[in-house]
Structure 1
Amino acid sequence: MHRFRFKNIWLLSHREKKARHIGFHPNKNLLVGRNHTGKTTVIRSLFETLGAKPQGKLEQWDENATSLLEFSVDDKSYFALHQDGRRALFDTNFNLIVSTSKFGDWSKHFCEITDFNLVFSDKKQAEVVLADPACFFVPFYVNQDGSWQSDWNTFGGMKRFSAPFKPILEYFTGVCPPGYYTASAEKSQHSKVLEENRREYRLLERAIERFSKTIPLSGPKVNADNFSLEIEQLTKEVNQLNVRQEALRNVAVREQELLKNLDHQIQLAETALVAYDSDAKYLFKKDAAPLVCPTCHAEHEKPFLDLLEFAEDARVLRELAARLREDAAEVRKRTQKAFLELSSLNENYLRISRLLDTRKGALKFQDVVGSLGAESAFAAFEEERKHIQNAIDAVVLTVDALETKMNELRSPKRTKAILTDFREHYAASRIALQLQSVSTKTMQLASRPSLSGSGGPRSILAYYASIWRTVQSEMGTYDIPVVIDSPNQQAQDDFNLPAVLKFIANDLPAGMQLIVGLETPTDFIFDHQVTLTEKYAMLNEEDWEPTEQLMEPLLRKMYLTTLSQG
């Protein structure tokens, strides 16, 4: 059973330069003060600091006031800091764990440190969402603004969940304990894996069906040993054919590219020679007009040396063209040789074809090759099918085991035992609170009483007390502080009020932490008492300096981290 305890709370108003520090005993605590002295403010701050906002509003209270709460979970201490919707969580050494103004992020971290794994269906988004701090505290806080009636109106914001109160009570009383939700979460994860495996299996089945229509595996099964020599020969022939064919193709491609380049160069040389012949005829004519530049219109003479150089260039060009033609002829020979060798590979194909036509009795080797290929493919399909089926079987076993565990955790026998205890506790609490006996045979965990008059608050208190006693039993899951704000509801008379106070002080489960707010002192013994006397002045100047020194470094950490995240 997890154990949660309030330890200390500090409240500070920068506007008023005042603060207040209140410590709590691990057992019974009493806050005494007349109306408007601040006891409700202290109590509400316990929950608001942790993200659970009670119904109602505070009068003349600084909305920007800061609260720092020290609490423990299973004897591990934490500090929660809150100001104007921003919250930060620190460990016992004031190391920052999280700082956020987002309620969802805060709820997630709160549920992690408390191991609170209850989930609900969200009304708006129709999906599974994690419970929040209000769900954690709602069975254990009786506030004066919403808890003493027949409806659950303790905290705001809970209407976003779909019918949350029955699951909450079942969670804490052990009807549907945390282990159930842990197993449910694991089952959900494995179910997703199972669905994925089954989807993959269905896809494989469709692939096999299509493959069977394309390459049917029909007729007699063949024995590859009968054709072992032929298979070996076929493999050798095919490998040689592929290697030689690839080499010849590479040679043919290279030679064709070289021949193409040579032909292009020859064409360029021949074109240049044609142009030379035309120019030479003009230059060597005796009566030819002088050369005139087409750009500057300057006239140029035709010296004899220039004419010789021009003729020499033509001679070199003719020799180059001749060599290119020789090279091209050699490349054509090599190209033709490569294509002839490629053509000769047809003999290999004919040889393989004859090999495939080899018969053993009425069975052709071609049939063996095709059959072996199909058999290999189907064998691979079958291996994959077995692999997926084994994975499916393993996940199914895990899901079945988790379902068995969930059924055991929420067995009818267990539920009946818890309900029996709850009903007996309610009947006994009514007697202790001086209410008439009623039949409880059909009473359920979420069946809040609806009784008018002064008996209404006492029946509600009896109902809450029966929940607390059931939670404190061996099948309960959490030990959470019980907080009761102003039990003197509906003008309890001098006969019933002492019975209520006696019941709260003496008859509630021993060992649990109790915080009670009362208007007047009582003779019943509490382990720790805080008395508030000044109206609208619960904070004081004496606590300002030590509280401000404690809070200021934490506020800086909270806001610096929030700014960096934003």
Structure 2
Amino acid sequence: MNRFIIQKLIVISEKEKKSREIDFKTGMNIIIGKNKTGKSSIIKSIFYTLGCEVKMEPSWKNNIDWFLLEFKYGDRKFEIIRHGKRFLIVELESILIDTSSFHEFCDYLTIEIFNIDIPFITNDLKPVNVTTPILWRFQYIDQDKGWNKIAESFTNMGYIRNWKEFSNKFVIGFQGEEYYRLKKEINLSKIIIEDLKAKLKHYHEMLEHINLTISVTHNSSKNISENLDIMKSIVSELESLERNKASLTERLSEAKNLHYERNLALKMLKKTIGELEDDHKFAQNEDEYIICPFCGTNHDNTIIERTEIIKDIQTGNELVKEYRKEVAEIRNEIDNLTGELSQTNKDLRNKKIILEKEKQGISIANTYKIEGKKEFIKISQDEQSIIKASINKELGEIELKTEDLKTFESRKRANEVREEFKIIYTRILDKLNVPQSFLKLRDFVQVLDNTGSELPRLIYAYHIALYLYNLEKNRGVFNWLVVDTPNQQGQDDENLIHIDKIMSELTNTSGQFIIGTERETGFENKARNVIQLTDYKQTLKPEYYQVHKDYIEQVLKH
């Protein structure tokens, strides 16, 4: 079981020539410190290093030059180094990626390391893979937005369309890794089938040609030595035609692949435009404010917002025109290349027939040739049978996986996931003294209809329940939770006791729980790690600055 476990955070200030190293362990980690001792800055630095943009103190963000986060995933140990917009992922002091592209960094981390490949589309209709802030939005309750809204602490998520809906379903496992793995395998099977069909066609054309040359060989009777010059010329022409055929075949294959990719992109784009049009129709029939049917949030519904949707639809339609034009151009290129390849194949067959006619028809030699070609025909026919069987196998796999995919989209499965989650959630609500009547899930996320002192405890309960649910389901990339100052949220003494006692649920060393608090919780003796911050605005220290700086420089040399 691969689990994501943070082991160390290092922050370095070249301006002050100071640094700080914080170690973390599995299980419970408690960071204790009064206001302005740096606990929130340390917590936010974890997520900032991972590419999640958070609201940090300007003095901290501007002062820190290098952020380094060491983590384990399964048996492998990695480091992420962030310097402004530059990201490095390091394993065993070897740099796996060094990029200033946020999406390249996220792709390597999620696809190459976590094997999570989830397609999203941006507001300007560009395809991207899941990003770290969307992947880990439920792993953090920050001291700013975190106690008023659920999983909206990161500022670099809004440019992706439907980010809440898709990530809600993924994080709770309703449509998790298996769902997207099946979708990817189905698409891969479709590509394999296209390649197999191309091979089948190649064998068919080749057998046609061989059968024709066998017929010609039977009727050949000229002496090859009498027409040596003619034969040399024909061989030269054949070599030229074969080179041209190979070039045309490669170009045709590339054009077909490009045509397939552009058609997929066009389908996704048209689907997105359809969703936009549905949004606009919905908005036209609503009042000045709209309650989102997915997340429950109130949105303005003025003419300005509806005009923006129309602009998006117009932009999408323009892109559809461009994509269709490009697809048509590619289709035209495919037709032209197919015609050229067909003509080249005809020329090849004709030249080979002429060459065979010019050869000396010694009966014994010709007999051997014919028998060899017949043997080759048998081998080719056997290969055709294997290819057809492979195509049928892939079609069968697509059918089975499509059925499996439907189970991940069914109402029955949604209810099963919801009920399993509620078993844990109701237990946590009781322990935090939150009435179960507050429990209201929409798209698997708690709806925040209530205000008052119950709101922070309701949010706390939901995050803890989701963390414990994923821990129970062994979904290793979500087996961690970071919480900042739950005891500063306007709670009376009785509820502060409940907030402290709930930590008895968070000692499991299979996961990792990191909490920042201003006072002791009573669980310090059960925590695997307690970090005391005592100095006002003096989180950074000079003692290990040079060691940390030298390590960064050593990594960069590789």
TM over 0.5: yes
Post-superposition offset of 1:447: 3.6
Matches within 5 A, 1:527-542: 527=527, 528-541=529-542
Q: Distance in 1 between matches of 2:438 and 2:485?
A: 28
Matches within 5 A, 1:433-472: 433-438=432-437, 440=439, 444-472=443-471
Counterpart position of 1:432: 431
Matches within 5 A, 1:168-317: 168-194=167-193, 239-240=220-221
Counterpart position of 1:7: 7
Q: Distance in 2 between matches of 1:452 and 1:476?
A: 32
Q: Distance in 1 between matches of 2:188 and 2:126?
A: 15
Counterpart position of 2:370: none
Post-superposition offset of 1:521: 2.6
The SS at the match of 2:158 is helix
- Contact conserved, 1:38 with 1:538, CA < 8 A, in 2? yes
Amino acid at match of 2:428: S
CA offsets per residue over residues 505-560 of structure 1, 9 Å max, x none?
A: 2123623211111122333335222222223221122x3xx3422332433543x5
Counterpart position of 1:352: none
TM-score of the superposed pair, with normalisation by structure 1:
0.62
Matches within 5 A, 1:496-515: 496-503=495-502, 505-508=503-506, 510-511=508-509, 512-515=511-514
CA offsets per residue over residues 206-261 of structure 1, 9 Å max, x none?
A: x9xxx9xxxxxxxxxxxxxxxxxxx99x977x5347979969999xxxxxxxxxxx
Q: Distance in 2 between matches of 1:247 and 1:487?
A: 94
The SS at the match of 1:78 is strand
CA distance 1:200–1:550, change in 2 (3 Å)? same
Give aligned-pair identity as a percent: 21
Q: Distance in 2 between matches of 1:243 and 1:118?
A: 62
Counterpart position of 1:29: 29
Post-superposition offset of 1:475: 6.2
Counterpart position of 2:52: 52
- Contact conserved, 1:3 with 1:75, CA < 8 A, in 2? no
Q: Distance in 2 between matches of 1:131 and 1:117?
A: 8
Question: How many residues are aligned here?
Answer: 402
Counterpart position of 1:68: 68
Q: Distance in 2 between matches of 1:535 and 1:80?
A: 28
Counterpart position of 1:313: none
CA offsets per residue over residues 81-100 of structure 1, 9 Å max, x none?
A: 22222222222x42332222
Counterpart position of 1:555: 553
CA offsets per residue over residues 274-306 of structure 1, 9 Å max, x none?
A: xxxxxxxxxxxxxxxxxxxxxxxxxxxxxxxxx
Post-superposition offset of 1:123: 2.1
Post-superposition offset of 1:201: 9.0
Q: Distance in 2 between matches of 1:442 and 1:15?
A: 48
CA distance 1:453–1:530, change in 2 (3 Å)? same
Deviates more, 1:189-198 or 1:460-469: 189-198
Counterpart position of 1:217: none
Deviates more, 1:158-167 or 1:191-200: 191-200
Post-superposition offset of 1:13: 0.9
- Contact conserved, 1:453 with 1:490, CA < 8 A, in 2? no
CA offsets per residue over residues 297-316 of structure 1, 9 Å max, x none?
A: xxxxxxxxxxxxxxxxxxxx
- Where does structure 2 lack aligned partners over 5 or more consecutive residues? 209-213, 232-380
Post-superposition offset of 1:451: 2.0
Deviates more, 1:31-40 or 1:406-415: 406-415
- Contact conserved, 1:88 with 1:98, CA < 8 A, in 2? yes
- Contact conserved, 2:165 with 2:443, CA < 8 A, in 1? no
2:464 is the counterpart of 1:483: no
Post-superposition offset of 1:41: 1.0
Post-superposition offset of 1:182: 2.1
- Contact conserved, 1:21 with 1:547, CA < 8 A, in 2? no
The SS at the match of 2:3 is strand
CA distance 1:89–1:249, change in 2 (3 Å)? closer
Q: Distance in 2 between matches of 1:493 and 1:461?
A: 16
- Contact conserved, 1:108 with 1:130, CA < 8 A, in 2? yes
Counterpart position of 2:85: 85
Amino acid at match of 1:508: L
- Contact conserved, 2:27 with 2:512, CA < 8 A, in 1? yes
For the aligned residues, what is the CA RMSD? 3.8
Q: Distance in 1 between matches of 2:202 and 2:411?
A: 41
TM-score of the superposed pair, with normalisation by structure 2:
0.63
Post-superposition offset of 1:390: 4.7
Post-superposition offset of 1:125: 5.7
Q: Distance in 2 between matches of 1:496 and 1:383?
A: 76
The SS at the match of 1:529 is strand
